[in-house]
Amino acid sequence: MDKFETLTGVAAPMPQINVDTDMIIPKQFLKTIKRSGLGVNLFDEMRYDSDGNEIPDFILNQPAYRNTEIIVAGDNFGCGSSREHAPWAIKDFGIRCVIAPSFADIFYNNCFKNGILPIALPQETVDLLMSDAEKGENARMTVNLEDQTITTSDGEVVSFELDPFRKKCLLDGLDDIGLTMEKAAAIESFENRASAERPWV
């Protein structure tokens, strides 16, 4: 998993509330078990019309936001089903951070397992960041995970809280498998000892 340290990028304003996982990646794209290739279908039904043409008004189709790396979203982002394809699609598009007043629990947890930083902040703080994101591609935000700060394009700094264990995993680029592999030597030692003590197992 890619490490997350400091991210400076374009932030897209998505003030809609209750953006669910079917909106993030519709069900017809869930057949794959690959984490790559889903970015093109991120927000598919909002990005494209029935003929597959881009809908110009959708935020990620606008020139200023095509290279978005941060989303500033509305309340209850990622609600709905538990599909892990949702963070896969977000990450594959190139987005590494989502900021919102609240997240659905399963989506929130899945983000950390896929190298995405979800930040929950009070509504008034999200409103401030939303206004900054609405300035377009020249208004670049900086998210510093080590310091737990977000700096707006105008230099205003806001702080966020984060569980220390999740913070360490993102900083070190460790998903569940990576965490297990950190204990590889201890696991091998245990298995060797267990085999010697119980050869019949």
Domains and CATH numbers, the chain: 6-174 (3.20.19.10)
Q: Which helix (H) or strand (E) holds 9?
A: strand 6-14
Question: What pLDDT score was predicted for residue 138?
Answer: 84
DSSP states of 138-177: T-EEEEETTTTEEE-TT--EEE----HHHHHHHHHT--HH
The reported pLDDT for the residue numbered 158 is 98
Note the pLDDT of residue 1: 85
73 closest CA partner among 59, 83, 63: 59
Q: What is the C-alpha separation between 111 and 94, in angstroms, rounded?
A: 13
In the block, tokens 């994101």 appear at 133
pLDDT recorded at residue 195: 73
3-state secondary structure of 125: helix
Residue of 65, 72, 84, 93 whose CA lies nearest to 16: 72
Q: What is the pLDDT along the chain (201 residues), one digit of tens a residue?
A: 889 999 999 999 999 999 999 999 999 998 887 778 999 999 999 999 999 999 999 999 999 999 999 999 999 999 998 899 999 999 999 999 999 999 999 999 999 999 999 999 999 999 999 999 999 988 899 999 999 999 999 999 999 999 999 999 999 998 765 655 555 566 666 676 767 778 776
Backbone angles phi, psi at 103, to 5 degrees: -130, 155
pTM to 2 decimals?
A: 0.88
pLDDT recorded at residue 188: 64
Q: So what's the pLDDT on residue 45? A: 96
Give strand pairing partners of 150. 143, 158
Distance CA 67, CA 45 (A): 19
